[in-house]
Structure 1
Amino acid sequence: MTGVEILTAGAGDKAWSFLIAGEERQFQGNAGYEDVVEESYSYDSTVGNHLRVSVGDLVVVRSGREALGVGYVEALEVLPDQEKLRSRCPGCGSTGFKERTTERPRYRCSPCARTFEEPIVETLQVTSYRAHYGGTWQPLEGCLDKAQLNALSLSKSDQQSIKAMDRERTLEAVASRGVRLPRQRGASTEDRRHPLELPGGRRRTTAAARRGQDAFRKALVRQYGFICAVTGAAPAEVLEAAHLRPFARTERHRVEEGLMLRSDIHRLFDSGLLTIAPGLVVRIAPSLAGHPLYNALDGSRLHIAQDAPVDHEAIAEHHAVTVATW
């Protein structure tokens, strides 16, 4: 086989977690791979399970600490006859050595305890693979942590880059956190949403102006998943970390004083047009009676567990202040 083979059909009945090592990569035996987290994952024929991944398989992309996102494999690129550099300990030949940042020699081999300045570098002929899943990618932002991922894994190895997962239980776990995967469809090179050539240019990002806001959102995602407390499951892109007490007044982030809210619901909440009554029941301002989409929410119960760690006193304060203006 020569050239690049692109696979767009497969059984698609398995599930995997892909490790994006990045800065957390412990061992220095190889130089890593070119991954674009939201788009594709690269690996080669030296990686365990490399032949088992198929188009249609479910994949959870993970760091060493948590799940970053989930999607379905839409296409697989196969690139034969690629060169890969692999570094080994000059003593025992192991790839399991670590870099030391404050001591010399620079490296220390875990298996044989030898220290050295430079490893032995060898060139391998490998087949490289790139799994594309960008068209179905859904961010998880850590709402499944390492322990939860391990409970869903069929492998007990922490170092395995591609780990088999229990597909049904993984789908259930993802759904329970409010994540809704798009329906799988048979992909072709003509109708794939994301081309194999990755986009260049600039990527728009939003910077948090408040100190600790990112950590506050992450803590709420871990607590509630991607579920708007008022309307239910929603895409991560429209969910915001809302404060029950105005941040401008308290300047603090407490999980007990926060809820995940859809951006439009968050604005209504902060504007005094939506509040939460004792008993965790949604109340809508009379001025919104002409908007059926929002008026229909009046009297509904919050989409949070009965024992959720929410500050009922803060909810009562907001409710009292808000309804006094109606």
Structure 2
Amino acid sequence: MLAVSTDRQYGGNDGYDDDPDAHYSWDHTVNNARIVAVGDRIVLWDKEAVIGASVIEEIETRWAEKILYRCRYCNGANIKRRKRETPRFRCTPCDRTFEEALTRVERVETFRSRHDANWVDLGRCLDAKTLRALCVSPKSQLSMRPLRWDAFSEALDRVGRTRDAASLSEATTWAQSLVGGHRQAKVRVRAGQGGFRRRLLAVHGPVCAFTGPNPAAVLEAAHLYSYAALGQHHEDGGLLLRRDLHWLFDRGDIAVDPRTLTISLRNDLLTYPSYASLQGKPLATRLEHGHLSWIEKHWRQHRI
């Protein structure tokens, strides 16, 4: 799936409000629009490199009005919005320029995937040329195109991201147990997540469990278990963590040793001084008895 925000080659429409680590939007006019389903593994890129990957947990559908822009001379959609030159538009097929495009409104069925629960940031580890070669049709120019997942996993292997591919494969199991296909739904952002965070702030104050006091704005409510699997918030199953630490904790790169209740980092994180300083440190927040069983389960999941 191509996510390029407003920096697109052609300006035949206003684009989509993608937020790569949470949701991806399209409508029924896009090729392959209706083959995407809950449980599908998806990879997002931005024309230059991979952004990340996840598993679709939900697809919401709606109807909306979409504004289409066309060439004033040939009525073509392949028109470019020019950033500096005037007139503002140039049409590729007929090579004419114009200041105002023709517009019309079309009613479209829209789709938005939710995939934040299992999002894996791949840190641009594969470039565009490599990604294109992994597609079923490498020369395809479609914004959504089928990917050869086994080949993609092997490519991640070669650049040292084996665990990322494995975690996505595991996440597919629970996602495919959900109702497949498209369905009417409200946007789901981990129902109750805001209240869960407020309760943690009230109990612990603005304190990251790993690094100590922090501005509340940078703290997230981290689950000590897979929220995606259980679908509910347990009062003793969460801690406040800085966002980067939250992601690393979810991946198991950072864990809490249940025997010593100290922070444990995977070896590859020890090369980064800002993280290495956390190795072996006790938590900066008080744990309740109920936290301990979740911490042990997290440890067993990622370290044993």
**TM-score category of the 2 structures, normalised to the smaller one:** 0.5 to 0.7
Which ranges of 4 or more aligned residues in structure 1 deviate by more than 6 Å?
196-199, 268-271
Structure 2: 5+ residue runs without aligned partners?
198-215, 220-249, 255-265, 280-304
Aligned residues: 207
> Post-superposition shift, 1:153?
0.6
Counterparts of 1:183 and 1:147 in 2: how far apart (Å)? 27
Query: Percentage identity across aligned positions?
Result: 30
Partner in structure 2 of residue 54 of structure 1: 37
What is the distance in 2 between the residues matched to 1:268 and 1:159?
41
Structure of higher CA gyration radius? 1
SS at match of 1:162: coil
Q: Give the aligned residue type for 1:117.
A: E
1:159-194 Cα offsets, whole Å, 9 max, x none, are: 4110111122223323442323243202379xx994
The root-mean-square deviation of aligned C-alpha atoms, in Å, is 3.9
Q: Say if 1:196 and 1:76 are closer, same or farther in 2 by CA, change over 3 A.
A: farther
- The secondary structure found in structure 2 opposite 1:77 is strand
Query: Against the structure 1 CA distance between its residues 137 and 175, is the aligned structure 2 distance closer, same or farther, given a 3 Å change threshold?
Result: farther
Q: What is the CA–CA distance in structure 1 between the aligned matches of 2:146 and 2:252, rounded to whole Å?
A: 26
**1:41 maps to 2:36:** no
- Contact 1:44 1:127 (8 Å CA) reproduced: yes
Matched residue, 1:120:
102
Report the equivalent of 1:183. Answer: 171
Q: CA deviation at 1:49?
A: 0.1
Q: 1:262 to 1:125 in 2, by over 3 A?
A: same
TM-score norm. by structure 1 comes to 0.55
Partner deviation per Cα, 1:109-148 (whole Å, 9 max, x = no partner): 0010010001011100110001111111111111011011
Q: Deviations over 1:270-314 (max 9, x none)?
A: 88x9xxxxxxxxxxxxxxxxxxxxxxxxxxxxxxxxxxxxxxxxx
How do residues 1-326 of structure 1 correspond to structure 2 at under 5 angstroms? 18-80=1-63, 82-157=64-139, 159-176=141-158, 177-178=161-162, 179=164, 180-181=167-168, 182-184=170-172, 185=174, 186-187=177-178, 194-195=189-190, 204=218, 235=251, 262-264=268-270, 266-267=272-273
Cα deviation per residue 1:18-69 (whole Å; 9 max; x = unaligned)? 1111243111111011111111100000100001111111100110101100
Query: Secondary structure, in 3 states, of the residue corresponding to 1:127?
Result: strand
User: Aligned partners of 2:98 and 2:217: how far apart in 1?
Assistant: 41
The TM-score, its normalising length taken from structure 2, stands at: 0.58
Q: Give me the whole-angstrom Cα distance separating, in 2, the residues matched to 1:29 and 1:198.
A: 37
Is the CA contact 1:135–1:194 (under 8 Å) kept in the aligned structure 2? no
Cα distance in 2 for residues equivalent to 1:71 and 1:150: 18
For the structure 1 residues 150 and 103, does the alpha-carbon distance in structure 2 shift closer, same or farther, using more than 3 Å as the test? same
Name the SS for the 2:131 alignment partner: helix
Higher helix share: 2
Cα gap change, 1:187 to 1:149, in 2 (>3 Å): same
Instruction: For residue 72 of structure 2, give the secondary structure of its aligned residue in structure 1.
Output: coil
